[in-house]
Amino acid sequence: MLPLQFLLTSTLSALILHFLLHFKYEIGLLDKPNQRKVHLSIKACSGGIALYLAFMMMNISLQSDHLPKTFLLCASGIFLMGLWDDYRPLSALLRLFWQLSLAAIIAFPLAENPALTPGLLFLQHLPFPLVWMLFTLFIVASTNAFNLMDGIDGLAGSLALVVMACLAFCLFLVNDMQAALLMLAMMAALVPFLSLNWAPSKIFMGDSGSMLLGFTIAYGGLRLVQGPMAPVEAYYFQVAVGCFSLPVMDMLRVFGQRMLKGNSPLKPDKTHLHHILLKYINVPQATLTIVAFQSLCILMCMLLQDFSHWFAILSLVGLYFSMIWTIKRCFQPLASAGPKINTNKKQTVENAKYSEIQPFIPNK
């Protein structure tokens, strides 16, 4: 029954995506090129609509008797906020308030659970309001971390697919079927989207899709280590650390660099990991490199299960900054080799294959 539901969800997602592409100008959800963006032509950014609708339909059909109503309502709120932001950009403070409110609702029952997984044992000495606040901040951080990774074709969706596959497998092992089915439902909706989002992309997921992904993944991670089936072995906590390591580390590094320069951490720039990679390789190569690194982080945490959690976290941080240092120091000669997407918009005709129809050349 489950494979059939997966196939039907993917089919529904594909049909909605093609409808959104066909009527993209009428719908009006368009992402136009500018000096910060890699794409050189107008793209539809309505993919999040297909993800949300297919995701909801699979959950309703699979879990009608045990539907996680609170989570699905909050996920709907995150989706609607992202959709509104795609149509008419919201202020950063309004988005943060909205995210905190919805995250607090789903974090409340998880923070109440007294069965703490190894790695979270220090929380038992903290008052409930503080634990609730920490879980809420984690959900908001994850939501925004995956949103910020949605910078090049195929990246956010591919990262989410790897992370959700890992979480779904672990949730099945600990017998949390409800949360595992949430991960599978989103994966089913995501597969056809990736076929249209891989370079050269035809459609983006927009903030509605990337925030929905981050919100869902954060909930799955908390359910693994602090859900109704907790406590679980320390191994699962380290797997969860590996799943969230790359997006969160990249977000914290970028925010820290902005503040050190005296800028707001929310001020956009081109210092994310995918921006660094695009100076040396093209978009598909950058996406595969980051996804491979995310997979390596998860594998590394699995292999370090006999070590302390802090040792695993410090090892991941060291690996992340070593990767950036290696790229900047050792890969410099590759900057002029081969066709690639150029982030400064000096796009040549040879590289126009990465734009949808015709390259968009900004006015000087």
Annotated binding-site residue? 207? yes
Average confidence (pLDDT) per 10 residues, the chain, 364 residues: 84 94 87 65 87 91 75 95 91 92 93 68 76 93 92 92 95 90 94 91 91 95 82 80 94 92 84 89 91 95 85 92 87 48 39 38 35
- The distance of Cα 72 from the centroid of its chain, to the nearest Å, equals 18
To 5 degrees, how large is the angle CA 195–CA 353–CA 350?
A: 155
What single-letter amino acid sits at 30? Answer: L
Domain ranges of the chain: 2-28+43-246
Q: Write down the pLDDT at residue 189.
A: 95
Supply the DSSP string of 40-55, one letter for each residue.
Answer: -S-EE--HHHHHHHHH
Distance in angstroms (rounded) separating the CA atoms of residues 347 and 343: 8
- The distance of Cα 353 from the centroid of its chain, to the nearest Å, equals 26
Q: Write down the pLDDT at residue 332.
A: 62
Q: Write down the pLDDT at residue 117.
A: 65
Torsion of CA 61, 64, 68, 73, to 10 degrees: 70
For residue 265, whether the previous peptide bond is cis, meaning omega lies within 30 degrees of 0, is no
Kindly state the tokens that stand for 210.
């990337």
